[in-house]
Chain A
Amino acid sequence: MSAQPLLEAEGLVKEYPMGVRALDGASLTVGRGEIVGIMGRSGSGKSTLLHILGCLDRPDAGRVCIDGIEVTRLPDSALPAIRLRRLGFVFQAHNLVPSLTALENVALPLRYLRPRPANPYAQAKAMLEAVGLGDRLHHLPGQLSGGQQQRVAIARALVNSPALVLADEPTGALDSQSARALLRLMRRLCQERGQTFVVVTHDPVVGQVCDRIYHMEDGRVLSTAAG
């Protein structure tokens, strides 16, 4: 395996119309297989950073490299394919498509792949079993608890084996016990599958499972500390 980090961001600047500098020269590096936390006060620019790292948004300045690809130089039309093949997302809540069952939600990224994988539902089922929801395959999101919904979201983020999983407060809507369980699950999957996680969080409990923590303040990444 090369020494090249999986994720490299340098000098990211993002300014919003009303003159808010959400990012002001943020930089960070994440190695392969790491679990990295990003913490900081509300409004410090964590979500903005995550959206840019996830190719959902573009910075006004700076560059992002994922897996050796400088994604900030790609045209808009190339970004969905990057998100589809190399990235997985977990958001705070309401991650799931309400009209699809757990199984269909997990199979969704596979349905967007071209060429289509041979057996998307078998893959999705295996993934749901891996997050301990083998008995909830055909439940709609509305019929699952918040923690179960988040586990489905994690299964979906992992189903197409992305190099990098980005999570924005994945435990934000959960009680501390469920949050801990979810984190242990993420930790285990990450180790088993050699995947890389970047987790934005307020939650000090989350911080405990991370390899390293970045702290953000006013759009800058301040420090890195062992978790």
Chain B
Amino acid sequence: MEILRNLYRRRLRTGLTVLGIAVGILAFTVMGAMAEKFNRLIAGGEAYFANRIAVHSTGGALRLNLLGPEEIEVMKRTPGVRHVETHIMMALDETAGFELAPRFLVGIDLPNFARAQLIGDEAAQLRLARGGWWRPGERQVAVLGSAVAHKMKLDVGDTLHARGRDFRVVGVLQETLSLPDGWALIPEEDAREILFDGSALLREMGLDGAWTNAYALIEPGLGEALTDQLAHSLRRGYLLHSPEQLAKAAGTASSLLNTAILGSGAIAVIVGSLAVINTMFFAVGERTREIGIKKAIGAGRWAILREFLAESVLIGLMGGLLGLGAAAGLIAALNGYAAQEGTPVFLLTPRLAAGALGFATLLGGLAGAWPAWRAANLDPVEALRAI
């Protein structure tokens, strides 16, 4: 009660200090929400790429290096490989420029895909939100990732226009917050036709099996060894990524982001705590007489320390709440805007919110500790001399 009244008596100064902390926490939370989103993406990717060796064709426009049946057979026969998942992957919209969350057409063979889903990491499994999968032999149908559905405003029963063709949407996937949100899954044959459209040569070759990407699903722990082995047994011209390489790339990205959070956190510390220190020293100076009286009455050092500490902790908490509220609003607005682009960029997780609040409160306490210590150790006679 007394604390609130003291803060209220100096409401302009208190307000400005709270604002200082709020700005720091706002920056911290928004940066953190971006990092949380990327962490989620990376975690999704890690689950997807766990025990998976990715093989990409690097054939360029001519597509001469597509993966053929022989390559798939080589991969399948390698001991330690449990299954080979095959994709035909291409940009959904060739004419679109840079996309925040790129969209892909992904041609799959349903039995092949289903088996990979069964073997792969559970966290990376795709689940339908609405509709169903196409039946064997069905053509010109599509199951959309959530971001594709959202951005193109498509739902089950609608028609997806992509690369000059029409696909009937039969299903929409649940949001994964990772890559598959940007996929439109279509039958492999349809994808292959689109792929060959661009190249008379390929069409002439009349390949009945050709893929852009293949993933060897392997026994755990064999990643590096099998990647080396596959690199030797496959023809040159394919790009191989071991699970470890992918995990390492992800780790680099996330540690970069975490550094960014720490950086913005450090700025919040400096700005916020300087404001609190300044305010609290002012308060101690202003209330010197009051401290002297309280000591004369019999208040111990700890009682005085606690009173001032409680005040600065409260300032920190209020700043944290304000900053968090502002950040939540800003994130909602930015995400609303980014959602039109397909996918939200920020993710305000409970642990981030709790972290930001705890951080602000701790900051208030730490910054207030020095002035409060000074107050607690004032000489009573000196303090009483003040007016």
Contacts and interface: CB of A to CB of B under 8 A. Distances in A.
Contacts of B384: 56, 91
Interface of A: 51, 54, 56-57, 77, 80-85, 87, 89, 91, 94-100, 104, 108-109, 112, 156
B296 A104 contact: no
B29 to A, nearest CB: 33
B2 A80 contact: no
- The 4 lowest CB-CB distance pairs between A and B, nearest first, are A84-B298, A83-B298, A80-B300, A56-B380
Nearest to A96: B293
A112 B296 CA distance: 12
Given A91-B384, A99-B6, A80 B289 contact: no
Interface of B: 1-2, 5-6, 9, 289-290, 293-301, 303, 380-381, 384, 387
22 contacts: A51-B381, A56-B295, A80-B299, A80-B300, A80-B301, A81-B300, A83-B296, A83-B297, A83-B298, A87-B298, A91-B384, A94-B293, A97-B294, A98-B9, A99-B9, A100-B2, A100-B5, A104-B2, A108-B297, A112-B298, A112-B300, A112-B303
A96 B290 CA distance: 7
Contacts of B297: 83-84, 89, 108-109, 112, 156
Of the candidates A54, A81, A99, the one having the most CB atoms from chain B within 10 angstroms of its own CB is: A99
Given A94-B387, A98-B290, A57 B381 contact: yes
A85 B384 CA distance: 20
A51 to B, nearest CB: 5
A91 B297 CA distance: 11
A94 B387 CA distance: 8
Nearest to A108: B297
Given A56-B381, A57-B381, A100-B2, A94 B300 contact: no
A82 B295 CA distance: 11
B35 to A, nearest CB: 42
Contacts of A96: 293
Contacts of A109: 297-298
B299 A89 contact: no
A162 to B, nearest CB: 9
Of the candidates A82, A83, A156, the one having the most CB atoms from chain B within 10 angstroms of its own CB is: A83
Contacts of B294: 97, 108
Nearest to B6: A99
B12 to A, nearest CB: 16
Nearest to B299: A112
A83 B6 CA distance: 25
A157 to B, nearest CB: 8
B295 A80 contact: yes
Contacts of B6: 99
Given A94-B289, A97-B294, A99-B9, 17 more contacts: A51-B381, A56-B295, A56-B380, A80-B299, A80-B301, A81-B298, A83-B297, A83-B298, A85-B298, A89-B293, A89-B297, A91-B296, A96-B293, A98-B290, A108-B294, A112-B299, A112-B303
A94 B294 CA distance: 12
A98 B296 CA distance: 16
Contacts of A85: 298
Nearest to B7: A99
Of the candidates B5, B293, B296, the one having the most CB atoms from chain A within 10 angstroms of its own CB is: B296
Contact of A89 (B296, B300, B301): B296
Contacts of B300: 77, 80-81, 112
Contacts of A89: 293, 296-297
B1 to A, nearest CB: 8
Nearest to A168: B384
Contacts of B387: 94
B2 A95 contact: no
B298 A80 contact: yes
Contact of A95 (B293, B295, B380): B293
A173 to B, nearest CB: 12
A77 B294 CA distance: 15
Contacts of B380: 56-57
Nearest to B1: A104
A97 B290 contact: yes
A51 B382 CA distance: 11
Nearest to B10: A99
Of the candidates B295, B298, B303, B381, the one having the most CB atoms from chain A within 10 angstroms of its own CB is: B298
Contacts of B296: 54, 56, 83, 89, 91
Contacts of B1: 104
Contacts of A98: 9, 290
Contacts of A77: 300
A95 B387 CA distance: 10
A184 B239 CA distance: 101
Contacts of B381: 51, 56-57
